[in-house]
Amino acid sequence: MISGAEIMVKCLEAEGVSVIFGYPGATICPFYDKIYDSTAIKHILVRQEQNAAHMASGYARCSASGIPGVCVATSGPGATNLITGIATAYTDSIPLVAITGQVRSDLLGRDVFQEADITGACEPFVKHSYIVKKTEDLPRVFKEAFHIASTGRKGPVLIDIPMDIQEKEIEDFTYPESVNIIGYKPTTKGHAIQVKRAIEAIRSSRRPLIVSGGGVLLSGVKPTFQAFADTTGIPVISTMMGIGVMPSEHELYLGMLGTHGKTVANRALHDADVVIVCGARLGDRAVATPHQMSENTTVIHIDIDPAEIGKNVKTEIPIVGDMKNVMNMLIESIGDYKVSKQWQETVKTWKKDFLRVPPVFEGFVEPRTLIAHLSAMLRSKAILVADVGQNQIWCANNFRIREGRFLTTGGMGTMGYSIPAAVGAKLARPERDVVVVCGDGSFQMSMNELATIAGNNLAVKIIIMRNHRLGMVRELQDKNYNCRHSATVLQGDPDFLKIAEAYGIDYAEANSNAEAESIIKGIVDSDKPFILVCSVYPDTPSI
Amino acid sequence: MQYTLSILVENHAGVLSKISGLFSRRGFNIDSLAVGVTNDPTVSRITIVANGDEYVVEQLEKQLNKVIPVIKVKRLTEGEFISRELILIKVHCAPSKRAEIIKTAEIMQAKIVDAAPNCVTVEYCETSARIKTLIDMLKPYGIREIVRTGTIAIDRGNTSVSI
């Protein structure tokens, strides 16, 4: 005989899961009792469930396996705390499997202690969800959940499991080898005729431009993508989620587009006659108004999700399919096409013209300059995790990514993402440098996870850009609300150095770039976590 | 623009809430909705009549297709399908007016299914347009209550919406 809880563990093992993030509670206890015995799966105890989802997200984004990140919580408040993390993964298309305990199935709907309709509450934020009513269904549900989360447009899948379903014992366990979901057959191969039309449009274009989104990274097609740009010479701009598709210093790469992006990227988008959008939804922060693009621009949109095509930007040539397949098709048929010298030169000139060096304020760290220098101090495959706020824009526009990753939440923009995501990233890639850049606002949203970092001795380096302000909102207030700084001054900030000390984490403070850089150089090779507090001039702008 | 969607879904608990939730959170307006099981007991059909421009309908179809238990979505072509709604109308009816109301029902091919000293109940199974005509004709007598189903629709001729 085998219990539902044992089956759950065996399903995770069968999927190759080696790390899960969670927080126990009464209704998930049967599962926790069995995970206690698993030698294949390491459980990371978080300090708040939302962070378990963010950790699973950071893990999934960085792990080489492509296996969805897994987070676990109990029923009621444990489950509802997960929601923001699940919603973040949904908007950013990150593969997650979230497991929640639920009250006994015979008590469902009676508002008993710690009962919450979590499948109902998560409905708008999950790719799919299950509430398991029979122990016998568990293997099929797990198999389907992992399949749905990691194929097509990736995203979170929720499995809600009542306590009695976990406890019940059944005869035996076999894990299904395949899935057959009648309503779920994502298109992966691009339509040959549309690809042909795309090739024709590119070949007859004079000022083509590629916009890369997170989809390029999610489909693991970076080398082919770079090869396509290199052979054709087409300049590349990226959305926030697409940063890292090209090395920042690559001569064809112009930077991030959008309201907080690089002028050169927006200029190129405005002037381009053919725009190849690759795995991006082009939300309002990327293309705020249709005027950002010329009326005569031909848009080729490649995406695995047909609903994204034509949703935000008028599209002439839609290609639904996995980026990997479509990119290979494009490379095969593009032939000897080369972008005109004139367009390349124009773009290069803009790149030089729009270069700005931020001013330095005495006694403070200039965050943009520090981040621009950061990459050179790290190993080439470093993972930079930015939070949300000014720190995110500073990182997006200034970090000189080489072969590593830039992680942030571009879609949901959830403050507090960086520290837990970095925990997941470090567990997925222990051999790489993992650096967090956050503000003093976002740091305080998830600083409870310093315990998780300390407890597992994860060498995550945290740089806090401390300006005692919610800088991004403050900028909005300066611009749109007559400089009325309502609730954007962080009164009562604790001494972050003492916080670090309390958790037994090494720390330092910097009041100039020279100081900050010398501290960073001294700590990058250490196998211990570190917190660097940078004092930043309060009125430093995002861009 | 009004359009009719025929949607085949897995016959599970919770599927309808996924569909109706999608409509409300994406701001699509539903005029009517009808659900029933198909000849395959594992599959249900949802017929939705909704309003919106071409962009809205296209988005709607695509978003519906993303819902995992949705098996198939088809927009029925105007003029090429048969649609029906069922309505029960309780009409105020003084004995002196009874013959008139019965005559009206006869003209429209509606049925009187119940009667009481001061009212009659009319049953009518027709297109939305004809139902509206009947309601308009009965209004002067005083309508006490209307109970109606959503529209169901089926392709004309050989075509069908099946798996």
- Residue B158 domain flag: no
For the stretch B48-102, pLDDT in tens is 999 888 888 899 999 999 999 999 999 999 889 999 999 999 999 999 999 999 9
Best residue of A123, A126, A140, A182 to probe chain B, by most B CBs closer than 10 Å: A182
Of A119, A120, A306, the CB nearest to B62: A306
- Residue B163 domain flag: no
CB pairs under 8 A between A and B: 35
Using DSSP, state whether A322 is helix, strand or coil. coil
Cα–Cα nearest to A411, from A262, A237, A214, A257: A214
Average pLDDT, chain B: 94
Which residues in chain A have their CB less than 8 angstroms from residue B17's CB? Answer: 120, 123
For residues B148 and B89, state if they share a domain.
yes
Q: Report yes or no: A286 and A257 within 8 Å, Cβ to Cβ.
A: yes
* DSSP 8-class letter at B93: -
The CATH number covering residue A386 comes to 3.40.50.970
ipTM computed for the complex: 0.90
Q: How far is CA B149 from the centre of its chain?
A: 5
Per-residue pLDDT of chain A (543 residues; tens, 9 = 90+): 999 999 999 999 999 999 999 999 999 999 999 999 999 999 999 999 999 999 999 999 999 999 999 999 999 999 999 999 999 999 999 999 999 999 999 999 999 999 999 999 999 999 999 999 999 999 999 999 999 999 999 999 999 999 999 999 999 999 999 999 999 999 989 999 999 999 999 999 999 999 999 999 999 999 999 999 999 999 999 999 999 999 999 999 999 999 899 999 999 999 999 999 999 988 888 887 766 777 789 999 999 999 999 888 889 999 999 999 999 999 999 999 999 999 999 999 999 888 888 999 999 999 999 999 999 999 999 999 999 999 999 999 999 999 999 999 999 999 999 999 999 999 999 999 999 999 999 999 999 999 999 999 999 999 999 999 999 999 999 999 999 999 999 999 999 999 999 999 999 999 999 999 999 999 999 999 999 999 999 999 999
For residues A347 and A423, state if they share a domain.
no
Instruction: Report the run of H or E that residue B15 belongs to, with start and end.
Output: helix B15-25
Is A476 an 8 Å CB contact of chain B?
A: no
Last residue of one domain, picked from the residues A325, A353, A381? A353
- Residue B124 domain flag: yes
Which residues in chain A have their CB less than 8 angstroms from residue B69's CB? Answer: 183
- Residue B138 domain flag: yes
- Residue B103 domain flag: yes
Is A120 an 8 Å CB contact of chain B?
A: yes
For residues B56 and B110, state if they share a domain.
no
Q: How many domains does chain A have?
A: 3
Please report the pLDDT score of residue A296 as a whole number: 83
State the residue range of the domain holding B86.
82-152
- Residue A178 domain flag: no
Last residue of one domain, picked from the residues B21, B49, B76? B76
Last residue of one domain, picked from the residues A290, A321, A353? A353
For residues A244 and A276, state if they share a domain.
yes
For residues B87 and B68, state if they share a domain.
no
- Residue B110 domain flag: yes
For residues A15 and A102, state if they share a domain.
yes
For the stretch A462-489, pLDDT in tens is 999 999 999 999 999 999 999 999 999 9
For residues A323 and A410, state if they share a domain.
no
Provide the pairing of β-strand A19-22 with A69-73. Answer: parallel
For residues B38 and B57, state if they share a domain.
yes
User: Shortest Cα distance from B101 to chain A (angstroms)?
Assistant: 47
Best residue of B25, B57, B66 to probe chain A, by most A CBs closer than 10 Å: B66
Is B56 an 8 Å CB contact of chain A?
A: no
For residues A531 and A386, state if they share a domain.
yes
Is A492 an 8 Å CB contact of chain B?
A: no
Cα–Cα nearest to B87, from B36, B155, B34: B34
* Distances, alpha carbon A421 to alpha carbons A141, A375, A393, B66, in Å: 27, 19, 17, 27
Last residue of one domain, picked from the residues B76, B110, B141? B76
Averaged pLDDT, B113-139 = 96
Is A127 an 8 Å CB contact of chain B?
A: yes
Please report the pLDDT score of residue A291 as a whole number: 64
Chain B nearest-CA residue for A144: B68
Terminal Cα distance for chain B, rounded: 28
- Residue A418 domain flag: yes
For the stretch A276-335, pLDDT in tens is 999 998 888 888 776 677 778 999 999 999 999 988 888 999 999 999 999 999 999 999
Distance CA A404, CA A385 (A): 11
User: Shortest Cα distance from A174 to chain B (angstroms)?
Assistant: 24
Best residue of A150, A184, A281, A309 to probe chain B, by most B CBs closer than 10 Å: A184
Using DSSP, state whether A438 is helix, strand or coil. strand
The CATH number covering residue B39 comes to 3.30.70.260
Which residues in chain A have their CB less than 8 angstroms from residue B10's CB? Answer: 182-183
- Residue A360 domain flag: no
State the residue range of the domain holding A132.
2-170
Alpha helices in A15-76 (DSSP H): 29-35, 49-62
Last residue of one domain, picked from the residues B35, B59, B76? B76
Of A123, A148, A311, the CB nearest to B68: A148
For residues B55 and B11, state if they share a domain.
yes
Please report the pLDDT score of residue B29 as a whole number: 86
Distance CA A540, CA B4 (A): 54
Is A181 an 8 Å CB contact of chain B?
A: yes
Terminal Cα distance for chain A, rounded: 62
The CATH number covering residue B128 comes to 3.30.70.1150
Q: How many domains does chain B have?
A: 2
For residues A228 and A253, state if they share a domain.
yes
Last residue of one domain, picked from the residues A353, A387, A415? A353
Please report the pLDDT score of residue A337 as a whole number: 93
Is B68 an 8 Å CB contact of chain A?
A: yes
Which residues in chain A have their CB less than 8 angstroms from residue B68's CB? Answer: 127-128, 148, 181, 183-184
Contacts of B74 (CB under 8 A, 6+ apart): B5, B6, B7, B161
For residues A416 and A460, state if they share a domain.
yes
For residues B6 and B66, state if they share a domain.
yes
- Residue A177 domain flag: no
For residues A230 and A260, state if they share a domain.
yes
- Residue A180 domain flag: no
For residues B89 and B127, state if they share a domain.
yes
Distance CA A96, CA A154 (A): 8
- Residue A183 domain flag: no
Using DSSP, state whether A79 is helix, strand or coil. helix
Of A123, A181, A311, the CB nearest to B18: A123
Q: Can you give the pTM of this predicted structure?
A: 0.95
User: Shortest Cα distance from B79 to chain A (angstroms)?
Assistant: 27
- Residue A179 domain flag: no
Average pLDDT, chain A: 96
Is A173 an 8 Å CB contact of chain B?
A: no
- Residue A185 domain flag: no
Tell if the CB–CB gap between A183 and B14 is shorter than 8 Å: no
Q: Is A480 exposed, middle or buried (0-12, 13-18, 19+ CB in 10 A)?
A: exposed
The CATH number covering residue A200 comes to 3.40.50.1220
For residues B28 and B71, state if they share a domain.
yes
Distance CA A331, CA A459 (A): 40
For residues A277 and A255, state if they share a domain.
yes
Please report the pLDDT score of residue A356 as a whole number: 82
